[in-house]
Amino acid sequence: MSIQAVKEYLALVWTQYQAASRNLKGQILDELCRNLQIHRKAAIRLLNSADSPRSQQGKKARSGRRPYSEEAKGHLAALWKLMGYMASIRLKAALPEWVGFYQGKDFTNEIRLEILAMSARSIERFLLPAKAELKRKLNTGTRRGVRPLVTTVPIRDLGNTPLVPGHCEVDSVAHCGGSLSGTFAWSVTLTDIATGWTECETVFGKTGAAVKKALKLMEERLPFKLTHLYFDNGSEFLNADVIEEFARSPERTVAIEVFRSRPYRKNDQCYVEQKNFTHVRQFFGYGRIDWENAVSMMNNVYRGYWRKVQNYYCPQQKLIEKQRIGSKIVRKMEEPRTPFERLRPHLTAAQCEKLNTEKAEINPISAMAKVRKAVRNIFGYFRNMEKAEWGKMVR
């Protein structure tokens, strides 16, 4: 059926519908939905319109909404931020007094009149994108790095996967519970892309100096040379302490090459993101750790037992390729191997002997039992203490 035929049919049915009784209207709606395959609510809107569908051709759509320019919506979002993120009803009431002090770029008198003419409901609707963006920022512990370093640190090449040790991704995990306010413990995770070798270190508050110290300690424990670092765009990594004093330190004969991921692309750091769960969340969970003395206890777990169990005795699988077949994604995986087994071909005989000796000293079952006991002690001991006593235990 052509569009013109549909319009003529609707015009005929509309005339019958206007004079029909309640029961007959129901029958007409049933027939219309069956013939045109449309939703019943859509049919009701068509037949309840003031004019017949055919007579509306060429007329302007009737709308009670006033059109507002994109420039006015942009300046409204800027005003909302400057005014402290007021609710729409309060914003509408405050705008007449505030708008006179606003000096935005290309803010004309016409735009000012448009903003003042907006209703509270329209303001609420126009601010939805800005509110969604604000919510995303408030729900993350990552803050944008220092601007000069963001522009000078290059974005990593995701087309090539490193095949030799030394290319490491780094990320931080917040032990904040349900609130990012205040100071609390952060776990810094470093993962080698080629082998999966992972090191963790806990800091209290993710300042640049604390993260730099954690990276130094993890580098000392690595059985291979650290050559490349891949960060996200967080301020805990893109700062002078980490970039200038650690990676590009004058004390190094060869500086560590530093790269960053694309903004808002979490999967760029997929290797370390996987380890954030298996190496951190799996044992320490999502609860809040805001007592400073627990940091040393967590580091004892990471350094003493956890790193050795994970790197020597826990096999990992790596993705070889994946392809879409119909609605399914089929993945081909490598045979499971431990990070130590993947690292062995890249080591000298002396280095292998040293690591074999370290592995022989570890009983993985008793080590896991000690890890669980240590985690229970951290949470059980400190949660039973009064908060007034926490400060007395800080060294």
Which tokens in the block code for residue 298? 């967590």
Q: What average pLDDT does this structure show over 104-108?
A: 85
Alpha helices in the chain (DSSP H): 3-19, 22-36, 40-47, 70-82, 88-98, 109-117, 120-126, 128-138, 147-152, 208-221, 240-242, 270-275, 282-284, 293-301, 307-313, 339-343, 349-360, 364-383, 387-393
Q: Please report where in the chains the tokens 């991921």 appear, as a residue.
A: 261
Q: Is residue 188 part of a domain?
A: yes
pLDDT above 60 (res 247): yes
Give strand pairing partners of 183.
Answer: none
Q: Is residue 62 part of a domain?
A: no
**DSSP secondary structure letter of residue 99:** G
Q: What is the pLDDT of residue 342?
A: 92
Confidence of residue 272 (pLDDT cuts 50, 70, 90): very high
**DSSP secondary structure letter of residue 306:** I
What is the spatial distance between Cα 206 and Cα 186, in angstroms, rounded to a whole number? 6
Say if residue 182 is in the same domain as residue 312. Answer: yes
User: Residue 371 — left, alpha, or beta (φ > 0 → left; ψ -120 to 50 → alpha)?
Assistant: alpha
Q: What is the pLDDT of residue 198?
A: 94
Q: What average pLDDT does this structure show over 297-309?
A: 89
Using alpha carbons, select from 146, 190, 139 the residue that is nearest to residue 165: 190
249, amino acid identity? S
What is the spatial distance between Cα 357 and Cα 261, in angstroms, rounded to a whole number? 37
Q: Yes or no: say if 362 and 347 are a contact pair by the CB < 8 Å rule.
A: no
Domain boundary among 114, 138, 162: 138
Q: At what angle are helices 22-36 and 40-47 packed, to 10 degrees?
A: 120
The tens digit of pLDDT for each residue in 186-207 reads 999 999 999 999 999 999 988 8
Say if residue 39 is in the same domain as residue 94. Answer: no
Q: Is residue 61 part of a domain?
A: no
Q: Is residue 324 part of a domain?
A: yes
By DSSP bridging, strand 228-231 and strand 185-192 are unpaired
What is the spatial distance between Cα 68 and Cα 66, in angstroms, rounded to a whole number? 6
Q: What average pLDDT does this structure show over 239-267?
A: 89
The count of domains in the chain is 3
Say if residue 286 is in the same domain as residue 323. Answer: yes
Contacts by 53-60 with C-beta closer than 8 Å and gap 24+? 53/7, 53/10, 53/11, 53/14, 54/7, 54/8, 54/10, 54/11, 55/11, 57/7
Range of the domain at 123: 70-138
Q: Yes or no: say if 141 and 176 are a contact pair by the CB < 8 Å rule.
A: yes
By DSSP bridging, strand 319-325 and strand 328-333 are antiparallel
Q: Is residue 52 part of a domain?
A: no
Q: Is residue 59 part of a domain?
A: no
Confidence of residue 147 (pLDDT cuts 50, 70, 90): low
Q: What is the pLDDT of residue 211?
A: 93
Using alpha carbons, select from 35, 32, 59 the residue that is nearest to residue 45: 32
Say if residue 94 is in the same domain as residue 212. Answer: no
pTM for the predicted model, two decimal places: 0.63
Say if residue 372 is in the same domain as residue 284. Answer: yes
Q: Is residue 167 part of a domain?
A: yes
Say if residue 325 is in the same domain as residue 246. Answer: yes
The tens digit of pLDDT for each residue in 357-383 reads 999 998 888 888 888 888 888 777 555
Say if residue 265 is in the same domain as residue 364. Answer: yes
Say if residue 152 is in the same domain as residue 131. Answer: no
* Residue 51 CA: distances (Å) to CA of 9, 64, 219, 263: 14, 17, 76, 51
What is the spatial distance between Cα 154 and Cα 327, in angstroms, rounded to a whole number? 36
Domain boundary among 138, 165, 197: 138
pLDDT above 60 (res 152): yes
What is the spatial distance between Cα 22 and Cα 270, in angstroms, rounded to a whole number? 61
Domain boundary among 138, 159, 189: 138
Say if residue 352 is in the same domain as residue 326. Answer: yes
What is the spatial distance between Cα 116 and Cα 60, in angstroms, rounded to a whole number? 26
pLDDT above 90 (res 142): no
Confidence of residue 387 (pLDDT cuts 50, 70, 90): very low
Say if residue 323 is in the same domain as residue 243. Answer: yes
Q: Is residue 316 part of a domain?
A: yes
Alpha helices in 207-266 (DSSP H): 208-221, 240-242
pLDDT above 80 (res 288): yes
Say if residue 151 is in the same domain as residue 193. Answer: yes
Task: Write the burial class of residue 213 (CB in 10 Å: 0-12 exposed, 13-18 middle, 19+ buried).
Answer: middle
Using alpha carbons, select from 378, 375, 376 the residue that is nearest to residue 390: 378
pLDDT above 70 (res 138): no
Say if residue 115 is in the same domain as residue 171. Answer: no
Using alpha carbons, select from 315, 317, 311 the residue that is nearest to residue 223: 311
Confidence of residue 391 (pLDDT cuts 50, 70, 90): very low
pLDDT above 60 (res 62): no
